[in-house]
Amino acid sequence: MANVAVIGAQWGDEGKGKVVDWLASRADIVVRFQGGHNAGHTLVVGNETYKLSLLPSGLVRGKLGIIGNGVVVDPEALLAEIDRVRAQGLPVGPESLRIAENATLILPLHGALDRARETARGDARIGTTGRGIGPAYEDKVARRAIRVCDLAEPDTLSAKLDELLLHHNTLLAGLGAETFAKQALLERLLSLAPRLLPYAEPVWQRLDEARRAGRRILFEGAQAVLLDVDHGTYPFVTSSNTVAATAAAGAGVGPGAVGFVLGIAKAYSTRVGAGPFPTELFDATGQLLGDRGHEFGTVTGRRRRCGWFDAALVRQAVKVAGIQGLALTKLDVLDGLAELKIATGYRIGAERFRHLPAAPGAQAAAVPEYETVEGWAGSTRGARSWADLPAQAVKYVRRIEELVEAPVTLLSTSPERDDTILVRDPFEG
C-alpha cells in the first residue's frame, strides 16, 4: 500500500478538506507539512461543520494528526483552534495530535510586520492574510526563528528574542508601526509553553516507525501549486513550497515515503486575493459560479474570483509537482450551463504559449486561448458513479484529462464526503 500526498493544483480553495477527510478513513496518520494558519479547510460531517486552519483534517475521523516541521505555527491560533473544535465535541489532545519540536513559531510581531508591509504597499499590495506567515518563514531562513523546542529553554528563548527584536523592531519603526517589548513577549511565550510542549516531539521518528510498520500516511498540503514560492505566480504567492516534494522535507521523511501524489482541482477556477488570473470572468457567469460554489475563503472570508477551467495552468502544476492523478471537485456547480470553456494556452502579443511564463509582465499580458465544449442539462450533484452523470459531463471530464495530461482518479459532486466517484484508490499506488 502506498502513502498519499494531497496538494492543490490551482490557487487553493479547491476542496482539499473534503478530499483529505474522505481519504482519511483509509489512512492511519495525517500530516500537515507546510504553510500556516493562512490555509483553511472546511469539512462537513453529518450536521457538523469544522473549519480548520492548522489542525490536520484527519483528526475529524479520529486519526493521529501531525504538524510537521515545515509548518509555521502560531501557538495562540493553534490553541484557540483546539479549544474551538473541542467545543464542537471533537477530542483533541497530545494523544491525537503531535507537533514537530523543530517547527518554527509565528509571534505577534510577525503579524504586525506583515500588516505594516501590506499597508505600505498601497495599491501594489500582494493580498496576504496579514497573519505573519511570510515574516516567520523569513526568520526561519535567516536562522533567527524561535521554534517549539525553544519554549522548554527560557534562557535560549530570552537570547533569541534579543536578536529577533533587534531585527523586527527596526523594521516596524521604519514602517511607522508599534514596536514590541521583550519582557512582555517573553512572558507571553512562557505562559503558552505548558499548553504547547505536551504536543511536541521529534515527529520524524514517529513517522519512520509508522512507515516501517506499514501504516498508511496521508500528507496534507496547504494552499496550492500556483501559490508555490518558486513555481507559482510570483510575487503573488505564499511563502512556502507547496509542491509534493515538500512533503518529505516538511515532515522529516525520505522522498520515497511520499507515495502517490493526488492533485485537487475544481471543475472551474478560483483565486483569492491579488495576482494574475487569465481566465477570470467579470460577467454574469463569473457571478453565477461564485454564488453556486459559495466561493468565500475559509480563512479570509473574501469572495473568490471565479473563471473558466485553465487546463494550461493545471497541466503546468501536474508537471512541476509530480501529480499522478486529479481529484476534480465542484462539477455540480457547472450544471445547466449551455456551454463551457477550457483554456488550452495563451497568446502574448504575437506569441503563443502552452504554459504561463514566469515574468510578471508576461503573466499580466497573457490572453487565454479557449476551447468551447457543450454543457449539460441534467444534474451531477450527489452522483456516486459514472453512470449517474450526464453524457456531456463525462465528456467534459475526459477532455480535462486529455488537456492536463493526468487522469481523474476521484470526482467530487457535492460537499458531502460520500458524494464521490472513486476511479482509482490512491492508497493502492
- Answer for the pair 356, 346: CB distance below 8 angstroms, yes or no: yes
Cell 483528526, located at residue: 59
The Cα 54–Cα 242 span in angstroms is: 15
Helix (H) or strand (E) holding 118: helix 108-121
- Residue 13 is a catalytic residue: yes
Q: DSSP labels for 371-383? A: EEEE--SS--TT-
| Strands 200-201 vs 4-8: parallel, antiparallel or unpaired | unpaired
Which listed residue (13, 74, 150, 332) is catalytic?
A: 13
Q: How many other C-beta atoms are found inside a 10 Å radius of the C-beta of residue 349?
A: 8
Nearest to 285 by CA among 358, 236, 338, 326: 338
**Measured on CA atoms in the order 242, 401, 285, 389, is the torsion positive or negative?**
negative
DSSP state of 85: H
Beta-bridge partner residues of 178? none
**Measured on CA atoms in the order 13, 240, 4, 406, is the torsion positive or negative?**
positive
The Cα 57–Cα 424 span in angstroms is: 21
The Cα 20–Cα 37 span in angstroms is: 17
DSSP state of 395: H
Beta-bridge partner residues of 420? 412
Helix (DSSP H) and strand (DSSP E) numbers for the chain: 12, 20
Q: Residue 24: what are its φ and ψ, rounded to 5°?
A: -60, -25
Q: Residue 221: what are its φ and ψ, rounded to 5°?
A: -85, 160
- Residue 167 is a catalytic residue: no
Which listed residue (37, 41, 110, 231) is catalytic?
A: 41
Q: Active-site residue numbers?
A: 13, 41
